[in-house]
Amino acid sequence: MTTAPPDRVFTIEGDRFVPTELASGPWAPDAMHGGAPAALLARQLERHDPGPASLVVRLSVDLLRPVPLVPLEVVTRTVRPGRKVQWLDATLLADGAEVARASALRMRVDDSLDLPVPPEPGPQVAEPGSLESFRIEPTRAFGFGFWRAVEVRQAAGSWTETGPATVWFRLLVPIVAGEVPSPLQRVAAAADFGNGVGSALPRGQFLFINADLTVHLHRHPAGEWVALEAESRAEAVGVGQAVSTLHDERGPIGRSVQSLLVDQLPDG
């Protein structure tokens, strides 16, 4: 009998966030995919100290160590308050130890301004409705994995071959049980796939683990779908970078960057 995946990534129990099997990643059996903690930190930062500065224009996540599949706590604080510009920090704790941290830069959005800016360029990648879904099959899978929490559709390039590619992502389950994922959560969840979308090295032979994720947005994302137009580079010294242009169905919304630790798989 086939077991169905969980219907959420995290469940709230008191002041802790308990991960399900959907939070797991492809690098170790007891560690999360980076998209799960990134989306959770995004949730906490956008809900903290709400005010006129409501648009998260930069989300930076540092994955200080593999995030374990254990109940987590998040501590948020306002670094610098402001009506037009605001800085926030969040710390992710596992058994009292800091495993990840994030910062957010929020800015006000003023619809009364009449600035002489050019119109949006509109969609620049194939719309997700015109594409077929496919399932990500990691070389090393431990349980369902975060890739089962998203629907995936290829717009350009190839998932199985190296080189630039464009892929649409849509969350299928809430990050936190009982909640509709916010646009920022959807972006954070998708953006962490950038190093896999535009991989620079063959899958199954190399590790290309991101130690961080930085997302810059120039407008509020719209809708459920987020596309990554991604490309990665890897250097012979074992360092790499993945850069993605982010899209929703209206057009470009920003960019994301990941710093990569590159190595051969132990059995590669």
pTM of the prediction?
Answer: 0.94
Residue 213's identity, in one-letter code, is: L
User: Where does residue 151 rank: exposed (0-12), middle (13-18), buried (19+ CB within 10 A)?
Assistant: middle
pLDDT, one tens digit per residue, over 19-35 is: 999 999 987 889 999 99
- Model confidence pLDDT, tens digit, residues 198-229: 999 888 788 889 999 999 999 999 999 999 99
Q: Residue 203 in contact with residue 222, Cβ under 8 Å?
A: no
Cα distance from N-terminal residue to C-terminal residue, the chain: 33
Find the mean pLDDT for residues 161-187.
97
**Confidence check: pLDDT of 1 > 50:** no
